Structure 1
Amino acid sequence: MVPPINQFLERVRRVDPKRGRTLGIITKPDRLPAGSGSESKFLELTRNEEVFFKLGWHVLKNRSFEEGASSLIERNESEATYFRTSNFKSLPKKNVGIDTLRSRLSLLLFEHVKEELHRLRQDLELAILNARSQFALLGNRHPQLGDTRYTSLNSYYLSRNFQGSC
């Protein structure tokens, strides 16, 4: 059986080969035996040492089975206590907990939308320029309905005379 982290990393290699758009999220760190090699590996991941992601890594402590009925406040307190007392306390505060993840994701989304809006604006400006040049190729319009009728009738008679001369 392939460990879930390997499946995740393989998927990242396929969809984000430069690792510039991926934010790694580690859950259930409390399931790892304290001081174990597994815990050390996850700490290295979170420090962006083992596998580098431009956006880095983030750790969340999910509710345990026993905490399943706890409120969100109790859940957040349990998570905060865990990150204050476990070996994960060595990590920067910005890389642990649900509150900082929300802030991080909001900022990432804002920056992404800002960048895409800039590109969209450029695309729209180019489309407007193209539409204006295509419109210019149509020629001048007739300023009044009478002029339009005159031109249409004139074209009609010219075409009839042309057909008659053939």
Structure 2
Amino acid sequence: MSLRLYASTVEEALDRADARHWTQRPPRSHRARMKYLLQQIKGDHQALAALLATSADNIHDVLAGGTLTDAQAADTEREVLRRWQPQVRRRAHRTIVDNDGLMTVSFRAWFGFTAAVGTTDDPRLRFLTTSLCAPYPEQLFTARHRDAPETELHRILSEALAANYFNRRDTPNTLESVSLKQIDYLEFSY
């Protein structure tokens, strides 16, 4: 993993939390990461180039010992983290869900909410740490397993925060809503 220990997207934060359950380290060098990703997409250099927003020639250069730009290295790392040890990841998720495990989320973001009719709290920068209870961890895991877009993951997290923030664990479709914008820091623990 990179030296950056935080995430700014729900997708990346879930992948980083999953990394705590791995039984082996993912590839670390640019060349090893490229080889791994090529194996994952059945050796299709063009598909890998499209995934990493680079050229097939650049893929060949890296495999021959070349280097990546910082942006390409970050994209490569993100894809490796997303694909590494899927069975271990799913087993950890299943164990958490089956044992009514809680998921803890810490974040610093522009957080606001609407509550009872006529009241509102405009978004402001807040740092919060809270636990997410069922059914939200399972919803996040299920969405992540099917590569749901960031917008869907963000919506699930917002609903979970609304349920927790207003202590409405039994009725997930409450009138209260939470807005979570400009995420600066996001971390899940489970």
TM-score by length of 2: 0.21
Q: Please state which structure has a larger fraction of its residues in helix.
A: 1
Higher RCO (CA-CA < 8 Å; seq separation 6+): 2
Q: Please state which structure has a larger fraction of its residues in strand.
A: 2
TM-score by length of 1: 0.23
